Amino acid sequence: MIEVRELTKRYGDKTVVDHLSFTAEPGEVTGFLGPNGAGKSTTMRMIVGLDAPTGGSATVGGKAYAEHAAPLQEIGTLLEAKSVHPGRSARGHLMALAHTHGIPRRRVDEVIELAGLTSVAGRRVGAFSLGMGQRLGIAAALLGDPAIVMLDEPVNGLDPEGVLWVRTLLRELADDGRAVMLSSHLMSETAMIADHLVIIGRGRLLADTTVDDFTREAGGGGVKVRTPDVLRLRSLLSGPDVSITSSSPGELLVTGREAREIGTIAAEHGVVLHELTPQAVSLEAAFMDLTRDAVEYRSAPAGTERKAA
C-alpha cells in the first residue's frame, strides 16, 4: 500500500506538488493521472525517496521507503525508462540491481523472460528501442517480486502488443494481491487498466474516484436517434428528466433515457428507427474538462475546446 499524506514539493517559489493525499490499495490498479507537468513524476520520485518532500509524507507498506531493509521487495518502480546505463547489457543492468539485494541470477533470468527480452538480454541497452527500454524498466520493477508495483507512463513507446502485455500484466499483478499504481496523461488508456483513479493538476488533487464512477459521471452524452417520424418519437420520449434536441432533420439527441429504453418505446409504438447510438462523452473529454484550469502548458484554445463527439 502506498500512502501519500499532505505531500508537498516546492522548488523555490514554484509549488510542484501541493498538499497531495491519496492511497494506492493492494489488489487494485490505481491510475495516477494528470496533464504534463502536473507533478506525477515528482510525486513518484518522492515515494521512492529520490526527491525529499518539502512537507508531508509518503509511505510504502507503512514505512518510509528508505527504512525498508529490502526496498526492491517492497516496491518495484519504473521511473523514466532511461534510468539505465546505455553501455551495460540488459542482463548486466538487472544483475547489478539484483546484487544489492542478494536476488539470485535465476530471478534475473525470470524477469528477462517475463518481459520478453530473452533474445536481447546480452545486448547493450544503448541500442534498445524505446519499447525495449520500457520492457527492461518493467523487468527491473518486478525484480524483487515486490508487493507494490509503481510505473511512470509504462505504455509510453510500446507497440500495441506491448500495451496489451502491460495491461494484462498489471491486471494479474493486482489480482495477485499487489498494489499497482501507474501514471499516465491519457485517460482513455488508463481507464482500460485501472480500478481507482487519482487525478491531479498543478500538484493538487482534482479527483479521487473509481473508473466506474468517473465513466458514469462522464457518460451523460445522450443517445443519438435517427427516425423518419421525429415528431411522434419526440412526444413519446419526453418526460420530466429528459431533454431532446435536434441538430438536423430526422435526427434527435436524447439525454435522460438510455438507448435500450428508447428502442423499447419505439418498438412498442411502431416507430421506425434508422439509428440508435449512445453518445458517450469520451473519457478524454471529461478528463480535459476536469483538468482544464490546471493545464500547465496550454495550447491554443481550439485545441482545448475540442470535444469528442
Partner 1 sequence: MTVTDLTPDRAPGRAPEGAGTARLKVTGARVLRSEWAKFWSLRSSWITLGVAVFLLILFGTVAGYTYSPDADPMGPPRPGGAGADAVSLALTGVTFASLAVGVLGVLLSAGEYSTGMIRSTLAAVPRRLPVLWSKAVVIGPVVLLLATAGALAAFQLGAPGLDGEKIALSLGDDGVLRSLAGAGVYLALVAVFGVALGVLLRSSAGAIAVLVGILLVLPGLASLLPDSWYETLSPYFPGNAGSSLYALQESSGALSPGAGLAVFAGWVAVTLAGAAFRLRGTDV
Residues near partner 1 (CB under 8 A): 1, 26-27, 45, 48-52, 61, 65-66, 68-74, 77, 79-80, 82-89, 92-93, 95-104, 107, 110, 114, 116, 140, 142, 144-147, 165, 168-169, 172-173, 176-179
CB of 164 within 8 A of CB of 92?
A: no
Which H or E run includes 212? helix 211-218
Give the whole-angstrom CA distance, residue 88 versus residue 104. 19
Min separation Cβ 5 and partner 1, Å: 19
CA–CA separation, 137 and 162 (whole Å): 13
Question: Least distance to partner 1 from the beta carbon of 54, Å?
Answer: 11
For residue 22, the cross-strand partners are: 4
Closest CA to 77 of 54, 47, 104, 57: 47
Nearer to partner 1, 31 or 133 (CB): 133
Write the DSSP assignment of 266-282 as a string of letters: HHHTT---SEEEE-PPP
Q: How far is the CB of 73 from partner 1 (least distance, A)?
A: 5
Residue 31: what residue type?
Answer: G
Closer of 61 and 222 to partner 1 (Cβ): 61
Distances (CA, A) of 145 to 72, 103, 149: 8, 10, 9
In the chain, the amino acid numbered 41 is S
Cβ 1 to partner 1, closest distance in Å? 8
Whose Cβ is closer to partner 1: residue 99's or residue 298's? 99
Q: Which is nearer to partner 1, 107 or 226 (CB)?
A: 107
**Closer to partner 1 at the Cβ: 51 or 187?**
51
| Least distance between partner 1 and beta carbon 111 (Å) | 9
User: What is d(CA 64, CA 57) in angstroms, rounded to the nearest whole number?
Assistant: 8
Question: Measured from the CB atom, is 110 or 251 closer to partner 1?
Answer: 110
Q: Which is nearer to partner 1, 1 or 308 (CB)?
A: 1
Q: Minimum distance between the CB of residue 236 and partner 1, rounded to whole angstroms?
A: 51
Question: What's at 213, amino acid-wise?
Answer: D
Question: Alpha-carbon dihedral of residues 263, 265, 269, 275, nearest 10 degrees?
Answer: -20
149: part of which helix (H) or strand (E)?
strand 148-152
Nearer to partner 1, 137 or 221 (CB): 137
Q: Least distance (Å) from partner 1 to the CB of residue 127? A: 13
Q: How far is the CB of 72 from partner 1 (least distance, A)?
A: 6
3-state secondary structure 190-233: HHHHCCEEEEEECCEEEEEEEHHHHHHHHCCCCEEEECCCHHHH
